[in-house]
């Protein structure tokens, strides 16, 4: 298979993986809020949300994470010289953090499926933004292929993080009105 096809498949599975990661945490928020509802509502909401989360997690998110890794390594095999470059070390570091985030989501998934959660919906909203920060870091590094601009990138990520946290606080105030 040609390099461009492999790269296209890698990008497609990155997109579907992130879609799964973004949506699964939204479902965690809904599941957590459903557990706080009266029993009559919880009895309807929880089974449906559990089913949605299970299908998303096992049919879309996990397969996409695995296929992203397979096609990513395949793409890298065509560009072994990139392993000599600092931007690739940084990008791969963020990718490792993304897989750690995915595993963290898996532990949350298992806990919530059992009807237990230690996190509030606000904490889960903050957790959801970690994947956004990782997405920005990875995309900018792979597109710019430059660690010299990494200082500006870090400043931008911090700024983005501050904006995301402000948005969460504003949304929380709006929701409680």
What is the four-CA torsion angle of 11, 149, 162, 102, rounded to 10 degrees? 30
Name the pTM for this structure: 0.85
Specify the DSSP element, H or E, that contains 105.
Answer: helix 86-113
Which residues carry a binding-site annotation for heme? 10, 91
* Domain spans, the chain: 3-176
Q: What is the pLDDT of residues 54-75, one digit of tens each?
A: 999 999 999 999 999 999 999 9
Task: Output the known binding site.
Answer: 10, 91
**Weakly modelled stretches of the chain, pLDDT under 70:** 147-151
Q: Give whole-number Cα distances, 176 to 32, 86, 172, in Å.
A: 17, 46, 6
Give the number of other CB atoms < 10 A from CB of residue 39: 7
């Amino acid at each position: 298979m040609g390099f461009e096809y492999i790269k296209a498949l890698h990008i497609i599975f990155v997109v579907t993986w992130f879609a799964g990661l973004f949506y699964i945490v939204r479902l965690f928020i809904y599941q957590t809020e459903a557990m706080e509802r009266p029993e009559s509502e919880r009895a309807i909401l929880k089974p449906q949300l559990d089913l949605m989360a299970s299908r998303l997690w096992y049919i879309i998110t996990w397969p996409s994470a695995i296929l992203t890794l397979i096609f990513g390594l395949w793409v890298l095999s065509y560009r072994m010289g990139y392993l000599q470059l600092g931007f690739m070390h940084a990008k791969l570091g963020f990718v490792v953090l993304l897989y750690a985030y995915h595993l963290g989501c898996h532990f949350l998934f298992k806990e919530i499926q059992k009807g237990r959660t230690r996190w509030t919906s606000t904490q889960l909203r903050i957790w959801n933004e970690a994947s956004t920060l990782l997405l920005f870091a990875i995309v900018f590094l792979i597109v710019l292929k430059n660690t010299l601009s990494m200082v500006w990138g870090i400043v931008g990520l911090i700024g983005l993080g501050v904006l995301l946290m402000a948005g969460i606080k504003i949304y929380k105030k709006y929701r409680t009105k």
